[in-house]
């Protein structure tokens, strides 16, 4: 799309080369939804050439992403440029996706008016009940949410959609919530403290720590083993896990910790395989699918664990053959623009 067409194609103007999602209040988000509806009706009722408008979405593809570096920090993050893809009712492959965007916006408009929050899973069940023809699986909801974020340029939390968190943390950390008792994470059981999915609650946390390191752990089993051994008493640290691929809430609190304790180095203990490296890159840079919000969660994470030179120390019986999914992830990583500077 030509640069002169950017302003016309975009519903909400901003800096042309770098695109991001805004944190907005419920009235502001509802206003943007109303603008989208008015644009749709204006195109439909045009006396000269009535038509069903096309939804211009920021393209969430590798060709439209790059890395940006912080001016005052060593943190880099994925960003998306102003290249557009479209959702159209007139294209067979797009018709259902087009309708899904409006269905998600309809529910978001309603819950924001009621002052509520829903998880992605709750949103799926609502949409499955109301529109089973369009939402048969969670993936349809997840993709539609990202489409709405790309259309309205606001964060998922601003839409009233709360992160579903699997994360936990433990170690040398005191959590103080307003009007709540403080939580000493060094005296908890091996499961640690469950991280809430409500980012508004996480923002209000007061954090206190004497840790010297922050260690991300990919696997929950390893996290619990280290917690059982009270590693943080021998090595003053905070342990955190998302129990696999990082969710937004875990990434958010990791970023909050990095901002609160800027001198605290962050290490990621991940598997020596494509999935482990993908997890490391997501913590460090963010993801293309959430490129509009990646800078809000990116951290300067360093790789802790096996490297290629260490393989000679590992018995052959410990190796596992890569599965088709592993090969797919590896191919994606090798073609990415930011893997080359990751390591």
- Residue identified by tokens 């990646």 is 294
Residue 149's φ and ψ, nearest 5 degrees, are -60, -45
For this structure, is 109 an active site residue? no
CA–CA separation, 60 and 270 (whole Å): 26
Class of residue 234 by CB neighbours under 10 A (exposed 0-12, middle 13-18, buried 19+): exposed
C-alpha distances out from residue 76 to 9, 43, 223, 249, 301, Å: 28, 40, 27, 19, 10
Apex CA 133: angle with CA 131 and CA 137, to 5°?
A: 85
CB 99 within 8 A of CB 89: yes
Rounded CA gap, 212 and 314, in Å?
30
Paired with 266 in beta bridges are 214, 301
Whole-angstrom Cα distance, residue 93 to residue 114?
Answer: 34
- Catalytic residue (choose from 109, 125, 295, 297): 125
CB 60 within 8 A of CB 287: no
**DSSP code, position 291:** T
Distance CA 121, CA 127 (A): 10
**What are the CA-CA distances from residue 135 to residues 119, 128, 188, 217 (Å)?**
16, 5, 40, 34
Catalytic residues, by residue number, are 125
């Amino acid at each position: 799309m030509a640069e002169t067409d950017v302003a016309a194609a975009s519903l909400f103007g901003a800096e042309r080369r770098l695109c991001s999602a805004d944190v907005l209040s419920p009235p502001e988000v509802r206003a943007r939804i109303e603008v989208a509806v008015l644009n749709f009706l204006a195109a439909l009722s045009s006396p000269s050439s009535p038509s069903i408008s096309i939804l211009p979405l920021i393209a969430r593809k590798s060709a439209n992403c790059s890395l940006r570096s912080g001016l005052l920090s060593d943190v880099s993050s994925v960003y998306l440029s102003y290249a557009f893809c479209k959702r159209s009712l007139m294209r067979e492959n797009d018709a259902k996706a087009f309708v899904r965007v409006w269905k998600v916006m309809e529910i978001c408009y309603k819950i924001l008016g009621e002052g509520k929050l829903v998880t992605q899973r709750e949103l799926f069940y609502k949409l499955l009940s109301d529109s089973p023809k369009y939402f048969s699986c969670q993936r349809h909801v997840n993709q539609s949410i990202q489409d709405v974020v790309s259309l309205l340029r606001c964060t998922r939390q601003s839409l009233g959609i709360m992160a579903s968190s699997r994360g936990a943390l433990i170690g040398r950390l005191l959590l103080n919530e307003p009007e709540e008792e403080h939580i000493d994470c060094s005296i908890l059981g091996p499961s640690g403290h469950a991280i809430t999915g409500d980012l508004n609650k996480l923002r209000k946390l007061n954090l206190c720590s004497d840790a010297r390191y922050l260690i991300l752990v990919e696997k929950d089993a390893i996290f619990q083993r280290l917690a059982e051994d009270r590693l943080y008493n021998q090595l003053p640290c905070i342990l955190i896990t998302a129990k696999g691929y990082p969710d937004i809430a875990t990434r958010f609190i990791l970023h909050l910790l990095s901002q609160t304790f800027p001198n605290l180095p962050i290490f990621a203990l991940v598997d020596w395989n494509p999935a482990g490296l993908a997890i490391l890159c997501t913590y460090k840079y963010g993801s293309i699918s959430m490129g509009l919000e990646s800078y809000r969660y990116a951290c300067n994470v360093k790789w802790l664990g096996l490297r290629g030179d260490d393989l000679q120390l590992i018995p052959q019986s410990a190796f596992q053959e890569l599965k088709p999914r592993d090969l797919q992830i590896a191919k994606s990583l090798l073609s990415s623009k930011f893997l080359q500077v990751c390591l």
